[in-house]
């Protein structure tokens, strides 16, 4: 589109799609489960690890808990990978892989398509697992942790295989699997925070995780600039991103363990906050 109609056409197209999506959301978006025919649920009974409304002074220590820190780090990895996909994928396919024409379009577009499909598919799978097991670790944490580790492996393989087809395949799978935690992470947070505090928690999660998208271009560009060759710089960049995602994916998978509290414990916390 940019080649044929100029760069403004791309922004106009994205704006039109955004407006269509806003209209769709305003028409179909619902305020509660009951509005779409789902049964209501009691936060106090279903989410036994939540805590009542608290002040910022009481809230801040929860942001340094192991669960929240690992969720934020995993989100940072997802934004890191998303930044690489948007900024460095096209340059890598053009300069290093020497793709052009339809091959280049396919290599750049497929990761976005797969990411959209995987977000919906794995989110549905996660909900089904939760309905069957009632276990947040089995339904959310294990699925997101496994997808991050698998994404790291795909990213590593994509930069070392010699086949163009395999390279496109692995680089397509990596982002779709890696950014799954961006939809699963908030679902895990809902099991850790009460309805009165989930807005603050998710706001902090998004704000802190977004630092990954700021660091990624700087780190990747630094590796390319200081490598012996440009191709080697890209290779180092993908390998570093793969290693970081693999390690943090394992930490998330192993370390995030929502605890369950008794009914009396929740009542005690409510009395303290009041």
CA–chain centroid gap for 30, Å, is: 23
Domains of the chain listed by start with CATH number: 65-273 (1.20.1250.20)
Provide the whole-model pTM: 0.75
Task: Note the pLDDT of residue 274.
Answer: 39
Q: What's the confidence (pLDDT) of residue 200? A: 83
Distance CA 257, CA 108 (A): 36
205 close to 63: Cβ distance less than 8 angstroms: no
Q: What is the pLDDT of residue 253?
A: 93
Cβ(191)–Cβ(49) under 8 Å?
yes
**What is the model's pLDDT at position 268?**
36
Distance CA 71, CA 253 (A): 10
pLDDT at 65: 87
| Whether 210 contacts 151, CB under 8 Å | no
Which pLDDT belongs to residue 271?
A: 40
10-residue mean pLDDT profile of the chain (274 residues): values are 70 83 72 54 46 63 86 93 90 90 88 90 90 89 94 94 92 92 87 79 89 89 91 94 95 83 37 40
Give burial (CB, 10 Å; 0-12/13-18/19+) of 137. Answer: middle
């Amino acid at each position: 589109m940019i080649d044929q109609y100029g760069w403004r056409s791309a922004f106009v197209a994205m704006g039109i799609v955004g407006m269509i999506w806003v209209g769709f959301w305003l028409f179909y978006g619902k305020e509660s489960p009951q509005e779409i025919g789902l049964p209501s649920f009691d936060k106090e009974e279903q989410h036994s690890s939540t805590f009542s409304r608290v002040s910022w002074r009481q809230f801040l220590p929860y942001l340094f808990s192991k669960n929240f820190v690992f969720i934020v780090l995993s989100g940072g990895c997802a934004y890191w990978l998303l930044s690489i996909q948007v900024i460095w994928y096209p340059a890598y396919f053009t300069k290093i892989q020497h793709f052009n024409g339809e091959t280049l379009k396919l290599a750049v577009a497929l990761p976005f398509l797969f990411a959209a499909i995987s977000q919906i598919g794995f989110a549905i799978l996660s909900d089904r697992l939760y309905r069957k097991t009632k276990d947040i670790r089995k339904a959310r944490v294990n699925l997101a942790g496994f997808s991050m580790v698998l994404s790291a492996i795909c990213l590593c393989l994509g930069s070392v295989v010699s086949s163009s087809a395999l390279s496109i395949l692995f680089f397509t799978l990596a982002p779709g699997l890696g950014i799954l935690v961006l939809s699963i992470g908030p679902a895990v947070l809902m099991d850790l925070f009460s309805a009165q505090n989930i807005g603050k928690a998710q706001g902090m999660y998004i704000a802190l995780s977004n630092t990954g998208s700021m660091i990624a271009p700087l780190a990747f560009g630094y590796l390319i600039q200081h490598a012996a060759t440009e191709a080697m710089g890209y290779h180092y960049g993908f390998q570093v991103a793969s290693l970081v995602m693999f390690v943090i994916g394992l930490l998330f998978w192993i370390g995030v363990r929502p605890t369950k509290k008794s009914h009396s414990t929740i009542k005690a916390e409510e009395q303290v906050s009041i």
